[in-house]
Amino acid sequence: MTRPSDAVLTWLRERIDARGLKTSKVAKAIGLKTPEFRKLLAGETPMLLDDFVRLGDVLGLDANDVAGLPAADLATTFTPTEVPEPERTPCQAELLFKLAFDMQIDIHVRFIEAELGEWGGPDSARTAFVGKDMPIQLMAQYHRYMEPQLDDAGLHVTLSFDTLYRCTFPWSSIRAVTFVPFAPPPVAPPPAKVKPTEPAPARPTLRLVK
């Protein structure tokens, strides 16, 4: 079985022969014993990059010489194996928020303040809710400005307090979620039934008879 390095080793042996150099002299010049160098050229032992550079100096090789070796002989084609990413299993809260954002529904949320951790928002906004539930309204008309993102860490949204903050609400901090859908358009009343018009009763008439 051929190896990618076989073409390189053959190319090096040809360069040594073309210059009329003895294997023993080349081995000594690069700091190897002759038997070791023979095994190196035969591919029986791996050639280090330092060995290749020293050998190139002895043979007087330059970049043009190395570039002359066909690239197809230098290495085999490497095709990386694609490892599929494991599928995420979103929690119920994530599925609910995804539905609400997709359908542009007003969302009223109660968060457990103690579960927020480093949420990214101002401390002043949660001070009044220490030990309580913290209400947040995510109105549909502002959803696009919130840039909502859902992942394993929780719900990420941009909210406006004294300025804009990128806030993170862990899924474990959600106490309750309420959706406020838009009212459907009023249903038009059915058309009134029109009674058929009855013909007027015939009136008596006089007729002259001869």
Shared domain for 60 and 11, answered yes or no, is yes
By the 10 Å C-beta count (0-12 exposed, 13-18 middle, 19+ buried), 105 is classed as middle
In the prediction, which pLDDT does 108 show? 95
Range of the domain at 157: 92-180
**Partner residues linked to 112 by β-bridges:** 133
- Is residue 100 a part of any domain in this protein? yes
In CATH, what number is assigned to the domain containing residue 60?
A: 1.10.260.40
Shared domain for 70 and 103, answered yes or no, is no
Averaged pLDDT in 10-residue chunks for the chain of 210 residues = 73 84 86 86 84 83 69 55 80 93 94 93 90 93 94 94 93 94 84 75 65
- Is residue 144 a part of any domain in this protein? yes
CB 4 within 8 Å of CB 74: yes
Shared domain for 97 and 171, answered yes or no, is yes
In the prediction, which pLDDT does 190 show? 83
- Is residue 87 a part of any domain in this protein? no
Distance CA 54, CA 33 (A): 14
In the prediction, which pLDDT does 2 show? 65
Q: How many domains does the chain have?
A: 2
In the prediction, which pLDDT does 74 show? 47
In the prediction, which pLDDT does 32 show? 86
- Is residue 188 a part of any domain in this protein? no
In CATH, what number is assigned to the domain containing residue 152?
A: 2.30.30.220
Question: If we measure between CA atoms, which residue out of 93, 191, 87 comes closest to residue 148?
Answer: 93
- Is residue 30 a part of any domain in this protein? yes
In the prediction, which pLDDT does 37 show? 84
Place of tokens 């109105």: 139
Report pTM: 0.50
